[in-house]
C-alpha cells in the first residue's frame, strides 16, 4: 500500500510573521508524526495546509508523488481530519451525527457499524441523547468515533486529546499506534506527552523556523 505525503519548501506567513519557512516533510505509512511547538507557533495552520484546507502558503505538496492539485480527490478519499472544533451538532444525537459523516464518506452504512463505533469510544448508552446534553469530552468522543467508523489511512488530528479523560487518552494513544502499525499514518498536534514508541516522529515549530528531528 502506498501512502506518502510530502511537502517541499513549505512556508507560511501570517500577519507579517513567518510561522515556518523552508519546511520539508516526508510522511509515510506506519508513522505517527507529532507537530510540536508553543501556542501560536502555527501547528494548526500547518495541519490545515497539509489537509488541503488552506491555500495561502508557499511551497509544494505531493500526495503519493503526485502534485496535490491533481491528486486532491484521491487525497480527500484517504483523509480523516478532526479539527479543534469537534464538528458535532448539539441538536442531533451521536447516532445522527455519525450517520451524516458516514454518508459524506461515501456510503449509507449500517446502524450496527455506528453503534459499534460509539461503543468503542465508550459512549454506549448515549446513542440517542442529543449531543448538546453530553459533556465536552463526550462530544469529542463522538468525533473520535469516526476513526472507527470510516477507515481512512491518513489521520490528521488537531488536539484530539482535548477534554478526554485519562483512560480515554491512553486508549486513544493505543489506537494511534495500532493504526500506524497496520499501515496507516497519523499526523497529530498535542501538548500531551505521547508514549514514546518506534513509530513516533516529531516536528518542532517555533520561533525562527523549524527543525525536524527523529
Partner 1 sequence: MPSGETPMIDTDDRPVADGEPRGGLTVAVWATLKRDLTLLLRRRSEVLNPLVFFALVITLFPIGISPDPQLLATIAPGLLWVAALLAALLSLDSLFRGDYDDGSLEQLLLTPQPLAMLGLAKVAVHWLLTGLPLAMMAPVLGIMLSLPAGSYPTLAFSLALGTASLSLIGAIGAALTVGLSRGGVLLSLLVLPLYIPVLIFGAGAVQAAILGDGAAAHLAILGALLALALMLAPWAIAASLRISING
What number of residues does the chain have?
A: 214
Smallest separation (angstroms) from partner 1 to the CB of 25:
19
Smallest separation (angstroms) from partner 1 to the CB of 213:
28
Smallest separation (angstroms) from partner 1 to the CB of 71:
9
Q: What share of the chain is helix, strand, coil (3-state, %, to 5)?
A: 35, 30, 35
Q: Smaller CB distance to partner 1: residue 20 or 57? A: 57
Smallest separation (angstroms) from partner 1 to the CB of 177:
11
Hey, what's the cell of 206?
517555533
Q: Smaller CB distance to partner 1: residue 118 or 203? A: 118
- 3-class DSSP state of 108: coil
Q: Smaller CB distance to partner 1: residue 137 or 206? A: 137
Backbone angles phi, psi at 6, to 5 degrees: -120, 145
In sequence order, what DSSP letters do the residues of 27-76 get, joined into one string? Answer: EETT-EEEEE-STTSSHHHHHHHHTT-----EEEEEETTEEHHHHHHHHH
Smallest separation (angstroms) from partner 1 to the CB of 172:
5
Chain residues that interact with partner 1, rule: CB under 8 A: 1-3, 51-56, 64, 73-74, 76-79, 81, 83-92, 96, 99-108, 120-122, 144, 147-148, 151-153, 168, 171-172, 174-175, 178-179, 181-184
Q: Smaller CB distance to partner 1: residue 3 or 115? A: 3
Hey, what's the cell of 29?
505509512
Q: Smaller CB distance to partner 1: residue 23 or 185? A: 185
Angle at CA of residue 29, ends 177 and 88, nearest 5°:
60
Amino acid at each position: 500500500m502506498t501512502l506518502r505525503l510530502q511537502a517541499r519548501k513549505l512556508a507560511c506567513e501570517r500577519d507579517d510573521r513567518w510561522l515556518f519557512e523552508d519546511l520539508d516533510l516526508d510522511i509515510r505509512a506506519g508513522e505517527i508524526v507529532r507537530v510540536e511547538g508553543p501556542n501560536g507557533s502555527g501547528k494548526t495552520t500547518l495541519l490545515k495546509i497539509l489537509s488541503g484546507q488552506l491555500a495561502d502558503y508557499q511551497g509544494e505538496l505531493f500526495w503519493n508523488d503526485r502534485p496535490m492539485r491533481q491528486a486532491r480527490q484521491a487525497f480527500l478519499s484517504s483523509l480523516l481530519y478532526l479539527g479543534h472544533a469537534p464538528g458535532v451538532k448539539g441538536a442531533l444525537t451521536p447516532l445522527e451525527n455519525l450517520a451524516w459523516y458516514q454518508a459524506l464518506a461515501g456510503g449509507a452504512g449500517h446502524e450496527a457499524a455506528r453503534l459499534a463505533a460509539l461503543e468503542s469510544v465508550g459512549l454506549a448508552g448515549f446513542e440517542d441523547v442529543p449531543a448538546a446534553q453530553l459533556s465536552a469530552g463526550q462530544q469529542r468522543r463522538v468525533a473520535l468515533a469516526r476513526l472507527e467508523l470510516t477507515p481512512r489511512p491518513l489521520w490528521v488530528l488537531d488536539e484530539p486529546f482535548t477534554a478526554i479523560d485519562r483512560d480515554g487518552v491512553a486508549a486513544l494513544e493505543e489506537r494511534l499506534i495500532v493504526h500506524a502499525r497496520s499501515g496507516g499514518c497519523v499526523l497529530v498536534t498535542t501538548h500531551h506527552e505521547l508514549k514514546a514508541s518506534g513509530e513516533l516522529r516529531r516536528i518542532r515549530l517555533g520561533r525562527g523556523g523549524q527543525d525536524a528531528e527523529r
